[in-house]
Amino acid sequence: MHQDLTLLNSAALQQAYAQGLTDPVAVTRAHLARIAQRNPALQAFVHVCEELALQQAQASAKRLAGGQPLGPLDGVVMALKDNIDVVGMPCTAGTAAYAQRMPEHDAPVYQRLRDAGMVLLGKLNMHEAALGATTDNPVYGRCINPLREGHTPGGSSGGSAAAVADHLCTIAMGTDTMGSVRIPAAYCGVMGMIPTRTRIPMDGIVPLSPTLDVAGPLARSGHDLAQTMACLLGIRLAPVAQASVWRGLRVGILPQTHEVDMAPTVHQAWQATQQRLQTLGAQVQTVHFPDWSPARNRLHALLMSEWEGADYWLNALGPELPGLSAGLQKMLHYGARLGPEKRQASQAAIDGLRAQAGAVFADIDVLLLPTTPHTAFAHTNAAPASQADWACLANMLGAPALSFPCPTEGLPVSCQLLAAPGQDERLLSLACALDTFWD
């Protein structure tokens, strides 16, 4: 094939493999070459495992040549956020403290993707300890949004979004505590999804907030995203009649969304998405979620992240937190000092939202929200406090969520769909249908 192999999604790759037009070794080499060319400027990868990747690619090629692929992801290249354990390579969690940390076991999320035949290219840059949303990492470098020089890719899974957007890998895994998969997906113009919090094991992943943490993939197409999530969930992706999934879909709009100042392009994209849904036959309606206050609930989620993060890192490193930046030390020490009243208030806020979720979703199938209130910003600018105002709702509910880019001029804008906890399969169908949503 003369086509750039890094541009192909998983379905196109499987077709090319079946026709003998290329093989996983050639695809892996093409991605490794692009990483070598592009990563010095982007700083998306912090570790490239060329030898392992080629070994896995050769094994995949042998299976495909023998007519025995492991499934639709066999021979598809991926990369992992560097808080996900892989035996034989460091897992730093974006910190100097863990620069030499070598895991003894593979994380289950990696095992599931590896056992599906995916090829691991390496580990990806992230915000230090996953506590932040810019991926301006003081140890492993400032990750750059490939769509605008000098701009953040978001975070904390910024390297994951940048790598997918710049075709350094087909699929990337991230983790999401308050939007850390979906925010960078939004800033980099790709898709991101998180599952119901309890449906994917988080063992072998350096935690930030066990109450809120969840792992999820990023991809350039809804089909790739859905195939990967189905693999992680241990289910088979059902065929989808893409046009029909929107007809009769009950879509909820929360009035409190307007409490957050949003850029005009974000508001236009949100409105355009509602109109497109109605054109395709969905029922868009206002729903009420009495206890949801975007800014207040985001603060509760942040406090929980700080105190649960403090519990982990103080236990791991001791009271001085050696090997962490001064800024991160300050946040964690603040979290450690939070009294029981503030901890109880944050937990009560989360419990209250989860208690109301059943009533909210009783008359709708999904909620539609913008993903972020603004587009990617320059690394030299202060991070807006409201970045996670909408995104963290899914984490607080423990609910699945799917973010997707919307047509716009300039930097990407994004919306997200949230389903009730346990309704992941619905979002998988919608993810596939999003590939033709704007056609």
Residues annotated as part of the active site: 81, 156, 180
Q: How far is it, in rounded angstroms, from Cα 45 to Cα 82?
A: 9
**SS3 for 78?**
strand
Closest of 345, 369, 346, 353 to residue 292, by C-alpha: 353
Q: How far is it, in rounded angstroms, from Cα 356 to Cα 31?
A: 46
| Residue showing tokens 């990806």 | 124
* One-letter identity of residue 54: L
Contacting residues for 74 by C-beta, under 8 A, at least 6 apart: 14, 24, 60, 63, 64, 116, 117, 118
Q: How far is it, in rounded angstroms, from Cα 213 to Cα 194?
A: 10
Closest of 404, 414, 409 to residue 434, by C-alpha: 404
**SS3 for 409?**
coil
What string of DSSP letters covers 195-214?
--TTSS--TTB--S-TTT-E
